[in-house]
Amino acid sequence: MKDAKYRTSIKEKNESAEERMILIAELLKKWMKHNPYLVGHPEKCNRTCTRFTTDTMSKILPDIPNSPSGWNTDNHYFYEIVNRSGSFVTIQISFNSRNITKEQRIRLNQINKFTPNHQAKADWIWWLAYKTDRIYVPEDLNQEVFFARLDRAMQKVLEFDKELKQNLEAEYGI
């Protein structure tokens, strides 16, 4: 009897955590939809990852038509808001090298010089180049508080984009 209660308690806790993650994912999509600094890709979002691009990064690393990335898209990067814990999220930029051109490989190697998480492998496929600090989700899921925290983190993402662009322009004339 004691084991059955324990298993029920664990199951309820897991279901509650899953429900919270779904609610957080819905809030992230809502925030993304109303954020003028990013281009949302809701078709590439799920409970764990909310994906978007930025104008600056898309100019740095343009789409390659008819050369699908690992996400099966013409773009070979996404900013991802990662929602795995239910208590915090992070924003990261992921690159994918599937079907990239020689020119794109050169550009990604140039980008590598200016990112905090350097890619050491020459033949990499996935690369996480930048990640924000944790963005804590309010216990009560207060939208106003959570969106303000996301906005502050997004400013850091935009600063990263701007600094990367400036560094690439100064070093490579891009």
Q: What pLDDT digit, counting tens, does each position of 91-132 carry?
A: 999 999 999 999 999 999 999 999 989 888 888 999 999 999
Q: Which value, in Å, is the radius of gyration of the alpha carbons in the chain?
A: 19
Residue-level pLDDT at 17: 86
Give the number of other CB atoms < 10 A from CB of residue 102.
Answer: 7
Mean pLDDT, the chain, as a whole number? 92
Judge whether residue 139 has pLDDT over 90. Answer: yes
Q: Residue 135: which domain range?
A: 2-172
Give the pLDDT confidence of 145-168 residue by residue, as tens digits.
Answer: 999 999 999 999 999 999 999 999
For 170, the enclosing helix (H) or strand (E) is: helix 143-172
Give the pLDDT confidence of 54-104 residue by residue, as tens digits.
Answer: 999 999 999 999 999 999 999 999 999 999 999 999 999 999 999 999 999
For the chain, what is the domain count?
A: 1
Residue-level pLDDT at 122: 83
| Residue 83 near residue 50, CB atoms below 8 Å | yes
Q: Which of 57, 73, 8 is nearest to 161 (CA)?
A: 57
**CA pair distance 92, 116, nearest whole angstrom:** 11
